[in-house]
Amino acid sequence: MAKRAVIIGSGLGGLECALILARRGYAVTVLEKHPTRAGGCLQSFERRRSLFPTSPSSCPTRSGICRFDTGVHYVGGLGEGESLHTLFAEFGLLDLPWKQINPDCVDEIVLDGKAYPLASGYRNFVDRLAAIFPTEREGLERFVAALRDVGSHIFDAVGPGNEGPNPLFSRSAYEFLQETIHDDTLRRVLSGAFMRMELAADTLPLYNFAQINNSFVQSAWKLEGGGQQIADRLVEQIEALGGRVILGAEVTGIDVVDGRVVGVRAKGPRIGSGVTVLRQAQQPSLPATTGNLITADIVVSDIHPAATLALVGDEAGVRKAYRSRICSLPCSFGVFTANIALKKGIIPARDGNIYAYAPGADPWHPAAEGTDRVMIYFYPSEDGFADRLDLIAPMAYQAAGSVYEAAKEAKLREVLALAETALPGLSGAVENVWTSTPLTWEHFTGTPGGSAFGIRKDWRNPLGTLIPSRTPVKGLWLTGQNLNLAGLLGVSITSVLTCKMIAEAGD
């Protein structure tokens, strides 16, 4: 009889682990609380362009409807032989409609009113910036060489069997940049793409900074049609192998007997359909938690580790010290997003992205108040003009209520004003706008504070902030961006390593 694996959450990490385990012969069940779509931050969503449309829309989905991405905007290292290419080949994702971003300007960093290009291709990256900062060519060469060296050892950092994490987890990214690049403006340019990772000067390890940036220096890509296609492709493969992805299934508890996981409690309209379910009356020895028990030999949780532990009862024998450590780890910043439908023929489309900063702003030191940075993401366009775009900026967590609504409106005004410094005429081109905040993300992903990049890694305490996949509960495993690296690359690496550890443990 095949071993049973239950996956909590259908984000990228959960679906990738489910696919790997299904290929290894496990009977896989993925539980996703969203009622209609799998994918977590891979999801795309649709909004009506106008309440009173007067003419057909140019949106690419259908008349009057705009499609936006939740979290996946662009990825790095998808070219042949590059970081993400190898992983996505294994996951059957390479034949999706990927489009390479113009190598001469993947990201345009706007500082103090001047624009600087972040290119792709190692030589091109150096040459484009050295043309502006000629005295820094040697420093740029050292910078790129360091990134390239880290990228060439992509699976060495946290793999099972190693004596410990890569030594670069114990080095400061900020100090490395200070030592390598002398010009302060160039340092800010090299760090300007703040939505690749959280740039925390006091804590960010060099490994995280180098690995993620290396992938974008290799090459950068957008997915035409949205990130939902990644989730749908993974689900298709899981189901083809006999696995199940159950939507509208909220996990309410993880049951443990004698220190080993025996299943998860879940509730929802589809629970009990085609999965092994034991009702409470059949298992009187188990704790009486809400929902039916879906039995499992192993459970892999793709949600935040603190949220996972909240599902494990005190009787499971997890030490208070472990709970306290995991639950006290600080998370990275949350984001405000404005999804904008634009009037036709006003804003020229861009192939790459724009990162606009307020005068004097430093990517490593965010302003205590207000908005000092914004990412402008352009959706692919066929007519040369932008039809939709996303504005994304860091935002402090704010609880719901009248103050929250006021803060959201104020944030929108700030973000639009800053974006307009890089895109003149933007405010007059807005046809409709929808917003989300860290509170939205907390509700959507279950991540404390709506964190965009999960648990903050600290070079001063790498062993304390790098979370192992194995938990103190036998058969309970963790995966996802909170463990090691954020982004599609980091999550995919962690998925592979999580399943490798499961195999080595004999679970």
Per-residue model confidence (pLDDT) at position 252: 94
95 phi and psi angles, rounded to 5 deg = -90, 10
> Residue ranges per domain, the chain?
4-43+227-329+467-505, 75-225+331-445
Q: How many CB atoms lie within 10 A of CB 51?
A: 7
Angstrom distance (rounded) from CA 182 to CA 220: 27
**Bridge partners (DSSP) listed for residue 436:** 337
Give the CA count within 13 Å in the CB-facing half-sphere of 361.
26
- For the segment(s) 75-225+331-445, the CATH number from 3.10.20, 1.10.10, 3.90.660, 2.60.120 is 3.90.660
Q: What is the pLDDT confidence band of residue 455, given thresholds at 50, 70 and 90?
A: very high
Structure confidence by residue, pLDDT tens digits, 20-43: 999 999 999 999 999 999 999 999
Instruction: Name the CATH architecture for the domain at 4-43+227-329+467-505.
Output: 3-Layer(bba) Sandwich (3.50)
Give the pTM: 0.91
- Between 157-161, 204-208, 298-302, the lowest mean confidence (pLDDT) is in 157-161
Angstrom distance (rounded) from CA 111 to CA 350: 18
Residue 440 has pLDDT above 80, yes or no: yes
Give the CA count within 13 Å in the CB-facing half-sphere of 243.
31
The CA distances from residue 414 to 333, 374, 378, 427, in Å, are: 18, 10, 19, 11
Q: What is the pLDDT confidence band of residue 282, given thresholds at 50, 70 and 90?
A: very low
Per-residue model confidence (pLDDT) at position 156: 66
Structure confidence by residue, pLDDT tens digits, 476-503: 999 999 998 889 999 999 999 999 999 9
Q: Look up residue 415 and give its two tokens.
A: 């973000």
Percentage of residues in the chain with pLDDT exceeding 70?
91
Residue 433 has pLDDT above 90, yes or no: yes
Strand, helix or coil at 65?
strand
Residue 69 has pLDDT above 60, yes or no: yes
Angstrom distance (rounded) from CA 15 to CA 485: 17
Structure confidence by residue, pLDDT tens digits, 109-129: 999 999 999 999 999 999 999
Per-residue model confidence (pLDDT) at position 164: 57
Residue 279 has pLDDT above 50, yes or no: no
Per-residue model confidence (pLDDT) at position 286: 38
